[in-house]
Structure 1
Amino acid sequence: MDKNLSALEKNLGRFSVLDKLPENLLVPAEWQPLIGRSDKEKVKHITSLWDKYYHTEFSALLGIFQKRLNTVHLIELENKPALLYIFKNPQGEYLHYVGHAPLLSGQLPATTENLPWPAKFLEFYKTIHNGWYEVESHALGLFPIDEFFWLSEQEWGVLDEIEIDFSLDKVLAVFSNSAGGYLCWNFNTTEPSGLVWWDDEEPDMADFWDILDEWSAMGIEEY
């Protein structure tokens, strides 16, 4: 493993790049074709996988994949398979994202299992990744499902300055932009809706998928 990848262990922990399918790991079937492929082939394969399931929801991010994604490595991280994405941003800097293996049946935490999830959201965790984010910031992408948190579980100084008409214990944060903004699902409404929570100003009601796509793309293009 080259020194640039080794430096990632400071934030990611120890990992190894796999050049063949390991006997001790259950590698998702849709990841297995990455083994032995060229960088160009790996980018095409993983972009096609995202596009297959989320062509509309991640249209901006998929455009970034085509422009900025250099390669994808299958890695072993904490005795589990994961994917390491390497992007090159407009400034010529390399950005590294990690995507954990999709959830298997029965792996959904009991605390979130019975929520009225919107269509396609949990499917991301079952088909693409159980969390996908920039390594250094541990942000700019969807949290692993066990890192979701209700806003009521945190202290927010901004509540001394604003008034809200909804309950924080029904707003679930699933994404951080690393700059004080959190994309959340708001379960106060009849149908779950998107909400952007800021740590220094009033929250915004938003289209969840639009913000998710926009922030994910901006994390690479404007980081």
Structure 2
Amino acid sequence: MPAKTGNHDHGSGEGVAENLTVPTHRNHIFTIRKSGVSMTVQEFVKQLKEKSGAPFDAQIHSARRVYVRVARENLKWFAQLLFQEMKAKFSIATGIHIREGFEVLYHFTFNKDGFICTLRTLAPHDDPTLDSLVSVIPGTMWIEREIYDILGVRFKGHPKLKRLVKAEFFKENEFPFRKDFDIKKYKENHGLLPKVSYFTPDSEKPPLNKPETQTKKTAD
């Protein structure tokens, strides 16, 4: 069951759930049910409120996009609710280093209803840990490893939390996607970062051979 106590700064989601004509940032109100759609994003938020029993903050971005922010202690509960009970499909997860800490976003699709729900949560700088979702959604195994590898967010309960994509010359405690990772300083100290060039300088390009012009011979 979700944790119902503790600090939660992001609201309860109650206002969004009860007012089904929530305007988006584009000043549009989505209340029209499209043909063949069984659930709108507003109805989804209402159902989530009724089923979850835990606070959350829902931001309806458009008729096809909704963000649900939850406390990290409730992450697994909400993921299980979306994936197992509400039959959402897990797509991918992303990790971002922001001012408040490390935000991890799990993206779910409701294919029949035509919208995406992103479940987002935050791990603070001084404790960058989250519960792993592998036991609930096996498909999260490799992406949690990638987020750990490049951002340093540890996923508790992950059965195989180890390096995945980071270059071998990086140490275990070096996370190149963190904002405080100084690439220039690292290169000065170690000289290990390979030089990557996507464009060949003009000075190194071979000279272009001009096409030969053919003159047509006209009949006398």
The normalised TM-score by structure 1 is 0.29
Larger Rg: 1 or 2?
2
